[in-house]
Each structure stands twice: as structure tokens, then as C-alpha cells.
Amino acid sequence: MTAAAPLLSVRAVSRRFVRRLDVIEKFAARLGSSVREQVVHAVDRVSFDVADGEVVGLVGESGCGKSTLGRVIAGLHPPTEGEVLLAGERVALEPGRRPPIQMIFQDPFASLNPRMRVGDAIAEAPVAHGLVSRADAQEHVAALLRQVGLDPAYARRYPHQFSGGQRARIGIARALAVQPRFLVCDEAVAALDVSIQAQVLNLFMGLRETLGLTYLFISHDLGVVRHLADRVVIMYLGRVVEVGPIGPLYDAPNHPYTQALLAEVPRLDRRGRRYQPIRGEIPSPLDPPPGCHFHPRCPHATARCRTEAPALREVAPGRMSACHLNDA
Amino acid sequence: MSAPLLAVTDLVTEFATRDGALRAVDGASFSVAPGEVLGLVGESGSGKSVTGFSILGLIDPPGRIASGSIRFDGRELVGADDETLRALRGNRIAMIFQDPMMTLNPVLRVDTQMIETVLAHERVSRRAARDRCVDALTRVGIASAGERLEQYPHQFSGGMRQRVAIAIALLNRPALIVADEPTTALDVTVQGQILFEMQALVREAGTALIWITHDLAVIAGLADRIAVMYAGRIVEQGPVAAVLDSPLHPYTRGLLDSVPANNAPGRPLRQIPGMTPSLARLPSGCAFRSRCGQAGPDCAAPVPLAARTDGREVRCVRPLAAGAGA
């Protein structure tokens, strides 16, 4: 699936958040107390590629680092280690340079200034980057609103005058305003009702076709990802555990975590089922278990899993998995 | 089926606004038998949560139950005084909210809150009450319950907090539990665990359960019967397999069609045109007719929820043929 020159290349990216000691704690540490800096490995040496025009789903449960990774890719956080390349160039936000990657957030209301008309909010970035002149901005906004299925007359309204589905569309219009090559969608449809979600997903698929966009689609919803994406990356506690094309991966997941995740998803065709849950909850990323992060919940864990972290290796053409069981 | 534990008939719950009274629930009728799980399904604003709150008498002004009847175990709850309701709530009828922090007080230890729930309804020693709390926490899958009782809610993860809220709901062995989207905010694996535990509890204790959700897939696995709400009205109800396999109402059909799993991957999803209309501007007759593909002039007249011979009910002039559709 991955072409010779991928559009986006994530190379051994790590992102750590450190809570430094305050004055009193430093003093206590010097006196021999055991207080130490707390380090969260939100993203731990993640690598994958996205081909031009491809849609890749990034799936995981809360706290697995998928949103942090999305922000690192969009250039909102610098990576602690590693690099993100877009068409061979390092992604970084620089003043005056048009960001080639745009992000769409779960709650578009939180990312819109409530006191700014949505037309102005959409026009702000393209005008600032000189994509359109102030005089042409109105027309640019009208075209964008039409593209996302909204009435251009809505440009004069304020964010609170829109429903959830319409706000999602405004968030998309604003991301498209600077003609990005790559879109990072972070739980972009998670807050929407089923019928509205279908409309917005259709919009995403239509835009992909008309604009030739490439997406990283971050979601906890395996059903949505299956529908939209070509390939999927599964994360657990900061690490990638499995990567593969949608069909084969959903049909025969390799990693025990992916297997559990897929088994756990409620489905319309599973009636009166007896749930057989996997044990435990995701451990704190402040204190992840040694070895394979999944071993305390894994039904197949061995002594090796408790000490040695498995590497992500190819298990079939185009499919990667990080599990010691594949060595047996 | 045994006699219903709860029978709701023609329930109307209104909220007074500047534009007049809005009917958040408009003529809902349904019943739940002991040990039965009823899935109450709808999108935001459909009135499913207000229906749940109405059962527990939790509608505060400007809202009020305008008419209808809620009979629980032979007793009428509409118009019952506060004391009667207070004696029932947390005792015979319990509620689980989407956000467990609506149940839990953040500044009190978990044991304080749990023991209080027991002592509010029963004269037992603190020691016996505490034992019962340990037992309830263990039943919902919380390890070392004795120690966890002495912690504060913020020391629990989201999934654990919801378990505590469920444990509190179970404390007095209620006959009916109303659960309002209790797993919506949780991760898939944690949701699976909680669904598993709820299923076991209902089966063992014969508790009746009303599970309010927007997620049809959860209902498919959990419920015996399903009631679909749209704009304050129940548009269809019946056994879960029948409704999901061959919906009678065009809205139910549209809802099922827009679920990604019911569409070929990568193809445009079949979508319901338009949006849910505002309760202040509902069309006359069938509220869904402005979005319905097969609406006709006769849909503008009031449409009753009609019972059919197969135990299903539908509110539609031209119900879809059972077994038809994709």
C-alpha cells in the first residue's frame, strides 16, 4: 500500500510531557525524599507512512496518545524525538509560512471564537497568508461554505447560531480555507448524532474525491474508521501495536489488543450477546508496565512479554504487529 | 410475560419557554416487566432522557409532567408527593447517569456517600451498611473494595467511577433501574466490562432495566425490547430483533441505514435528509414527514401509535412492510 515516496512520513516520533519539580519538591528531593519529575510518554517511538490520497485511521482508547500524535503531526506540538516529514520536508509551524497540514477538532465550537462571525473566522487564515485578498475574501468564504454544504448567507452568523452538525461543517470549511495537502481529523464526528454523523462522513468522502485530500482520521470508533479509511494504525499506551489495510486487519487481527478491541465493539448483528470482556483498564501512562504495555491484560502473556517490549514487525505483506507471539 | 412493573401511559412532559410550552415528551406509552431490558433509543433532543427523568420525578420547573400516568408496582407516581418519591428513589427505583460525577459528591469519601444511601432507606447498623457497600463494589468488579471505599471520587478512573455509580444504584436492590447513556463516555473495552456486569446483575436479580442511549449497537446486544423516539414521541417499539431486522417506521429504517456498519465500506452512507426539527417548529401530524421519503398529505393529520398483531407498535400512516428494505 505504501508507495515509494509517501506524502507523510512519521519517523520514530516520541512526545514526552514532563512535570517539573516545584521549589519545595526540589528541596525535598535534595534532602533525600523520593519525589521525582513525572514523565508521561504520550507517544513512544511511533513510525508510519501515509501515501498521497490515502486515508489512514488512527485508533485507540483514551490516553493512548492518538490525539497527541495528531497534534505533533499537525505541528502544534514539537516532537521530543524523531521527525514528521511532509513530501520530504520537515513539518514545523513558522510565522508567515502557510501550514501545509490542517487539523479538525472534535468540538468545533471550542475552536471558534464565539464573538467572531463565522465568515470572518474562515477568512482570517487565508487572508493572513496572502492566499486571497481582503476584497476577494467574501467570495472565497462563500465558495467554501457551499463546498461543505452550507448556505453562503450563513457567513454573517455567529457560532452559537449553528447546530452541532453545522459547526462540524464550519470547522471543515476553516481547515480547507488555506488549501492544505493533509488533514488531521481528531474525533471529528464523535460528538454527532448517527444521522448527522452520516452526513458529515459523506462530506469527508466527497471532499477526498473532489480535492484529492489525504487524511489522518483519529477516532475511537472502529466502525467509522472501517468505513472511511484504507489503512488503520492501532495504538495502545503511546505505542503502535498493529498497522494494516482495513479489510485483512478487521477480518483477522493479529495483535491480542486489536483482537480484544474488535471483539468488544457492540454490533447491530450481535443480539442478546453475553459480553466476555478483557480484564482491567488501560494503565496510567505515568507508570506504564514494563515489557509489552498490554501484558497485564493479555490472555496470552508470557514471561518474555513482562520484560521485553516487542518490536513492530511485518507479519504479512503490508501488515505490521508488535507481539512476541508472532515469533513462536 | 409477567405483569408490568412499570407502565407509562400517554406521558406528556412540557417545558415552559418564551415561545410557549414545548413538549419534550409527547404521549409516550410503554411498559417494563421484571427482569426485562427496554432500550429507549433516540438522537439528541428526542426526549429519551426527559422520559427517564420523568419516571424518577426529577423534572424541575420550568418543566412539568402535564398529563399521563406512570404506574410503578401498582402505585401512581404522577402527582405523588415528594416524600413518596424520595422513599422510592435510590431504593426501589434507581438511576444511573451518563456522568458519574452527577451521582458522586467530589468532596466526600466514597464510603460516606454509599453508607448514606443505605441508611436513608433502612435502619441497619453502620457496620452492616458498610458490609453491603463492600459487597456492591465487589459485584461491579472493583478489586480491594474495602480500601477503595476510603478513597475520594477523583482517585478513581472514569470507568471505575461509573462502576461506583452503578454500585450505589444497586445498593438497595432496586426493582427498576433507569440508566441514561451510562457507557457513552467510556472506552470500548471498559464499556464491554460494564455491559457484561449489568447483564449478569439483571439476570440474577430479576431487575427491570431501562437503558437510554443513542447507540443502536449497544441495544442490539443488551435489550429485549426497544422503543425508538423521535421529536418527543415513540415512533416504534417491539422486540429488539424484529425492530432492528425489519423496522416498520421510516425513521428507524433511516437511522439503521446511516450506521457505517450497515453500508459497504468506502461507499457514501445512506443518510436521512435534513435535520431534526426544533420542538418549537414541529410539523403538524407526523413529526418526521418533512424528512420522510414516502410522506403524503395524509401524514399531516395526527398519527397514533398503533398496535399490531405481532406485538409491535408503530406510529406511521404507511409503515414499511416487515422484511422489506436492504
pLDDT digits (tens, 9 = 90+) for A105-132: 887 778 888 899 999 999 999 998 888 9
pTM of the model: 0.85
Q: Which residue does chain A place closest to B160, by CA atoms?
A: A281
Is residue A294 within 8 Å of A61, Cβ to Cβ?
no
| B268 in A contact zone (CB under 8 Å) | yes
Cβ contacts (< 8 Å) between A228 and chain B: which residues?
Answer: 260, 266
Q: How far is CA B285 from CA B254, B295, B310, in A?
A: 19, 11, 25
Q: How confident is the model at residue A277 (pLDDT cuts 50, 70, 90)?
A: low
A275/B269 touch (CB, cutoff 8 Å), yes or no? no
Q: Which residue does chain A place closest to B270, by CA atoms?
A: A198
CATH class of B6-92+172-314: alpha beta
Mean pLDDT of chain A: 88
Which residue of B193, B214, B261 is in closest CB contact with A223?
A: B261
Give the cell for residue A217: 482520521
Query: DSSP letters of A128-193?
Result: HTTSS-GGGHHHHHHHHHHHTT--GGGGGS-GGGS-HHHHHHHHHHHHHTT--SEEEEESTTTTS-
Which neighbouring-strand residues pair with B8? Answer: B30, B70
Segment A60-66 mean pLDDT: 86
CA neighbor of A58 nearest in space, from A203, A177, A191, A183:
A183
Report pLDDT for B326. 39
Which residue of A163, A197, A261 is in closest CB contact with B189?
A: A261
pLDDT in tens, chain B (326 residues): 467 899 999 999 999 988 888 999 999 999 999 999 999 999 888 999 999 999 999 998 899 999 999 999 999 999 999 999 999 998 999 999 988 888 899 999 999 999 999 999 999 999 999 999 999 998 887 888 889 999 999 988 888 899 899 999 989 999 999 999 888 878 888 888 888 888 888 888 899 999 999 989 899 989 999 999 999 999 999 999 999 999 999 999 999 999 988 888 888 899 888 878 888 888 889 999 999 988 989 999 999 999 998 889 999 999 997 544 43
ipTM over 0.90: no
Q: Which of B 38-97 lie inside 8 A of A, CB atoms?
A: 43-44
Instruction: Give which of A271, A276, A297, A298 to mutate to test B binding, by max B Cβ within 10 Å.
Output: A271
Residue-range domain boundaries for chain B: 6-92+172-314
Cβ contacts (< 8 Å) between A222 and chain B: which residues?
Answer: 188
Give the cell for residue A13: 516520533
Q: Which residue does chain A place closest to B141, by CA atoms?
A: A280
Cβ contacts (< 8 Å) between A61 and chain B: which residues?
Answer: 187-190
| B182 in A contact zone (CB under 8 Å) | no
Report pLDDT for B102. 84
Top-confidence residue, A30 or A138:
A138
Report pLDDT for B324. 45
A277/B260 touch (CB, cutoff 8 Å), yes or no? no
Q: How confident is the model at residue A328 (pLDDT cuts 50, 70, 90)?
A: low
Residue type, A63: G
pLDDT in tens, A192-228: 888 888 999 999 999 999 999 999 999 988 889 999 9
